[in-house]
A and B are shown apart, each in its own frame.
Chain A
Amino acid sequence: MAAEPPGSTRDDSLVDDARGGLPGSFETLVRRYHAAVYRQILVWVNGDHAAADDVAQEAWWRVAKGVKRFEGRSGFYAWACRIAHNEAKRWLGRNARKPRLVPEPDEEHPAERSATGEAVRLALSKLPEKFATPLMLELWEDMSLKDIAHALGLPEGTVKSRLFRAREKFRAVWDEMESEP
């Protein structure tokens, strides 16, 4: 996914249009970022697709309600992601006492059938959000450094540094998980 496909309307223009109530503008933002937001939510809710659907819906609903007050200075994607992360934390808080269900193998989600895939997502969920998000954008959404910086509203140098730290932290978590019996 590219944050700014060539010739497409920029995020800030779409946000302005959405704030003004222009039909279709918010829908374009949702279509542009839903997959990336959803994948991150899925990591945060331990791979539970039903929960990810609920959390995504609630998060986008809150984004829709708040967009009129969003001034576009922190990056729309970063803002939406942050709301989604908070919503996921709320979901985890509400479901903390429920036993975690191991998902059945699902033909619709072949990647989820792999034990390694699940372990990788578990490791990602253990990273702080500010490190996990750019890593997932780089490797899952194929976004360039420039696109990630734009989407998160951060300088490119900061993103580069966070990616470096994220890789180090992921490696440490992964090694620890591998060494566990």
Chain B
Amino acid sequence: MNDRIADLIRNAKPQAPSPDALLAALGSRAVPPATGSAVWLLRAAALFVLAAGIGAASALLPRMSADTPATGDLERVRGLAARIESLESQTGSVSAEQVVEQEARIAALETRVQARTAIEQAVGEYFVKRDAAERELWQERHLEHVRRHYAKDMEGTLAELKAQNLPEAKLVRAREILAQHGKDIEVLIKQSYAQGGDHRRGHRDLREQFASLARGAQDSLARVTGENNWGTLLGESPEDWAPTAEFEDLSDFDSMMNWMRRSSRG
């Protein structure tokens, strides 16, 4: 680096205050800031509804378990019924009422088992749908962020090339390459989200795929512009295309952390 520029920047180093005052201030904020804004009130209301829902669901599940006999009990009753039939056929000493009573009990147990299965299925489907909707929302917000930032970067790069008096035909070709790179990034991000449910596991190949895309685009640009050193201008890692984390609401934080997790080597 030009020593003059380096010295210029070094000499502009500002002072930073001691962290003591900051730590004292953080210590005094032991609870999240109380605020009367509508956003905070909505968040509080949403958390309350969510907590109530979870409470109701968790209260329901143990009761279902207590009221509903286990599968072993059902098998035992069925065994008894079979034994009754067997004894009846052998001795004729078991009454018809006893058989009817046992059959009614079996039917009631089977109804309960079916009901429980239906509830478990409904709960399972609900969570699958909720996760899918969440992933879709994260993907949509992520792609929106990438499109916005990529368009800005692309126009900046093209402006730099134009300033270097690159012929118009080459500028058009450079724009095509950059635009295609942007589309390829979107496809990669969509594929990553489509791969599914367990975003706690990292996506091993994603980093290599981003790097490969960047290399391809950089090689194409080098052929068109004659400039080889494109560096990391095109963003070769998943972090370069991470969703925003503006913290307008907590889902911003979630979407950023979700991407950092899924795009890490796992």
Check if A120 sits within 8 Å of B236, measured CB to CB. no
Check if A139 sits within 8 Å of B13, measured CB to CB. yes
Contact mask for chain A residues 107-122; partner B; CB cutoff 8 A; 1 contact, 0 none: 0111110101110110
Q: Does B23 contact A (CB under 8 A)?
A: yes
Q: Does B231 contact A (CB under 8 A)?
A: yes
- Which listed residue (B8, B229, B260) contacts A71, Cβ 8 A? B260
A-contacting residues of B (Cβ < 8 Å)?
1-2, 5-6, 8-17, 19, 22-23, 25-26, 29, 32, 202, 229, 231-233, 236-237, 239-240, 244-247, 253, 257, 260-261, 264
Check if A57 sits within 8 Å of B26, measured CB to CB. yes
Q: Which residue of A lies closest to B237 (CB)?
A: A158
Q: How far is the CA of A27 from the CA of B27 in the complex (A)?
A: 10
Q: How far is the CA of A82 from the CA of B240 in the complex (A)?
A: 12
B2 to chain A, nearest CB (A): 7
Consensus secondary structure, chain B interface: loop
Give the residues in chain A near B229, CB-CB below 8 Å: 164
A174 to chain B, nearest CB (A): 7
Tally of contacts, chain A with chain B, CB under 8 A: 122
Across chains A and B, which 4 residue pairs bring their CB atoms closest together, nearest first?
Answer: A120-B12, A35-B16, A34-B19, A117-B12
Check if B240 sits within 8 Å of A135, measured CB to CB. no
- Which listed residue (B6, B13, B25, B245) contacts A39, Cβ 8 A? B13
Check if B8 sits within 8 Å of A60, measured CB to CB. no
Between A and B, 14 residue pairs with Cβ closer than 8 Å are A30-B26, A47-B14, A71-B261, A74-B239, A109-B14, A109-B15, A116-B11, A116-B12, A120-B8, A120-B9, A130-B232, A154-B237, A158-B237, A167-B1
Check if A111 sits within 8 Å of B16, measured CB to CB. no
Q: Which residue of A lies closest to B10 (CB)?
A: A139
Consensus secondary structure, chain A interface: helix
Tell whether A158 pairs with B26 under 8 Å between CB atoms, given A47-B14, A121-B12, A121-B14: no
Q: Does A12 contact B (CB under 8 A)?
A: no
Check if A27 sits within 8 Å of B23, measured CB to CB. yes
Q: Which of A3-11, A14-22, A62-70 contacts B (4 or more CB under 8 A)?
A: A62-70
A46 to chain B, nearest CB (A): 12
Check if B237 sits within 8 Å of A171, measured CB to CB. no
Check if A171 sits within 8 Å of B257, measured CB to CB. no
Check if A74 sits within 8 Å of B22, measured CB to CB. no
- Which listed residue (B6, B26, B202, B231) contacts A164, Cβ 8 A? B231
A36 to chain B, nearest CB (A): 8
Give the residues in chain A near B11, CB-CB below 8 Å: 111, 114, 116-117, 120
Check if A162 sits within 8 Å of B232, measured CB to CB. yes
Check if B253 sits within 8 Å of A140, measured CB to CB. no
Give the residues in chain B near A162, CB-CB below 8 Å: 231-232
Tell whether A139 pairs with B6 under 8 Å between CB atoms, given A34-B16, A158-B236: yes
Tell whether A112 pairs with B14 under 8 Å between CB atoms, given A73-B264, A174-B5: yes
